[in-house]
Structure formats: C-alpha cells, structure tokens
C-alpha cells in the first residue's frame, strides 16, 4: 500500500506547521488514519533534519500498535515516542482521522500566563473566533505522552473540542483532514499571539459582542479550508523531494 498522495499531504502539513512556527527542530508530528487499524505518521530517522524538511518518505505506514504495517515501512525509521497521542485521539472519535501534535511557543506562553482563550476578535479570523467561542480545553500535565493511559487522559481533557492545550508542552489538534487539523493549529496560534500582544500593550481581553456573531457567517470549506490551504502550501516556496 503506497499511499503516495497521503504521504505527500502529511509531509506538506509538517512543512506548513514548521513554516508557521508551530514546531521547532525535530519536535512535532502529524498523522492520518488510512484504515481500521492503520495510520500514516511522520517518523524519525538517524538522518532527520527536522519538521521543516519533511519528505514524503518520512511518512510511514504503521498499525495502531506502532508496528510496521508493511515490509520495510520502519526500516531505518522510528515511530514518535508520543504515538499514543495519535492513537487514542483517533480511537476516541472515528471522525478524527488526522492528528497534529505541535509545540507553538505563543500558545504555551499564553496558557502559562493564565490567559483563557476566548473570541476577542471576529472577522479578523472567523474560524479562529469560532474555535475560541467553544472554549479551548487544557490538559494540565506537562509530560511526554508516551503511554496509552496518558493518551486517554489527554483525550478526556480534550472532550469534543478540536484542539487541546497540553500545559507546558504544546497542543494536539484533530480533524477529519490533515488540512483542517493544521489550520486549527494556525488559528489557535494566531489567537495566542494576539492575546499576548494585547496584554503586553496594557489592554484587557474582551470578547466580541454576542450580537456580532450574526454577522460572522460560515464561509464554507471552499474558503476556510481549500483556499486557506492553497495559500499555506504556496507560501512555503519549496518543492517536496
């Protein structure tokens, strides 16, 4: 099972996340469920040069138990230590087919500063405002999530939200597609940056008026996902190899 288009998509997702400053160095990993008991995931090798330089060949097919799903899939590669993040998030909700675990500094800093993520803006980023309106849960343990139990604990904190902040660690974003999982993470990072800027300027974080929601329509996936994703890929300015 080659799954070349899916491997390329995940590699692009890794590069987009790194280009947006959502992960540094070799930190972070993305995955995509491709069967009942299989997923593609960004793995590491002894020649790894970091998330920003992810190649389709770095995306490997494994089972939910972390073993190779085909001959040669893990030759020279290792699954992430935090594989339980991906497996437990997917098992908790079959609609979560893509998972992004990233380390955006602004989100970590804002959470550590005690900032509660709320919709402080509207048309500036409607998907981000909607994300914040539902509340952004926090998993309060600053640990590597290396066991199934810790993965389930994180998922319990996440609830039905599309993203969860892992305090002192990073975030996990889950969606039906790689594009949406990464775009959720970008929106959360933008909200964190804006919140920190407002606080640094001596301002207060105030939610938009309830009546404003009537004028913040859902512009649809053609705009919110497809068009946004084309931009993210185009701004990389590089070709996968």
Give catalytic residue positions: 82
Which stretches within the chain are classed as H helix? 4-19, 83-92, 105-112, 126-133, 148-158, 178-200, 221, 228-234
| Number of residues written out for the chain | 241
Q: At what angle do helices 178-200 and 126-133 cross, to 10 degrees?
A: 80
186, 158 contact by CB (below 8 A)? no
Instruction: Name residue 29's beta-bridge partners.
Output: 101
Tally of CB atoms within 10 A around 210: 7
State the Cα angle at 32 between 43 and 127, rounded to 5°: 115
In whole angstroms, how large is the CA radius of gyration of the chain?
18
103, 18 contact by CB (below 8 A)? no
184, 101 contact by CB (below 8 A)? no
Tally of CB atoms within 10 A around 153: 18
Tally of CB atoms within 10 A around 37: 12
């Amino acid at each position: 099972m080659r799954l070349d288009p899916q491997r390329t998509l995940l590699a692009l997702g890794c590069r987009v996340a790194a280009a947006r400053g959502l992960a540094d160095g070799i930190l972070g990993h993305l995955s995509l469920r491709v069967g009942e008991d299989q997923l593609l995931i960004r793995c590491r090798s002894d020649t790894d040069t970091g998330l920003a330089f992810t190649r389709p060949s770095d995306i490997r097919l494994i089972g939910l138990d972390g073993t190779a799903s085909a001959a040669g899939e893990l030759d020279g590669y290792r699954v992430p230590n935090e594989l339980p993040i991906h497996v437990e998030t997917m098992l908790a909700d079959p609609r979560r087919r893509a998972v992004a675990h990233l380390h955006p500094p602004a989100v970590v800093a804002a959470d550590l500063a005690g900032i509660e993520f709320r919709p402080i803006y509207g048309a500036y980023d409607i998907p981000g405002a909607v994300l914040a309106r539902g509340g952004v849960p926090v998993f309060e343990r600053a640990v590597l999530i290396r066991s199934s139990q810790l993965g389930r604990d994180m998922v319990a904190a996440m609830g039905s939200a599309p993203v969860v902040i892992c305090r002192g660690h990073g975030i996990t974003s889950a969606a039906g597609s790689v594009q949406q999982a990464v775009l959720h993470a970008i929106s959360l990072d933008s909200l964190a940056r804006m919140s920190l800027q407002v606080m640094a300027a001596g301002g207060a974080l105030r939610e938009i008026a309830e009546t404003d929601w009537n004028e913040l329509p859902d512009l649809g996936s053609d705009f919110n996902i497809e068009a946004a994703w084309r931009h993210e890929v185009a701004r990389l300015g590089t070709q996968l190899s």
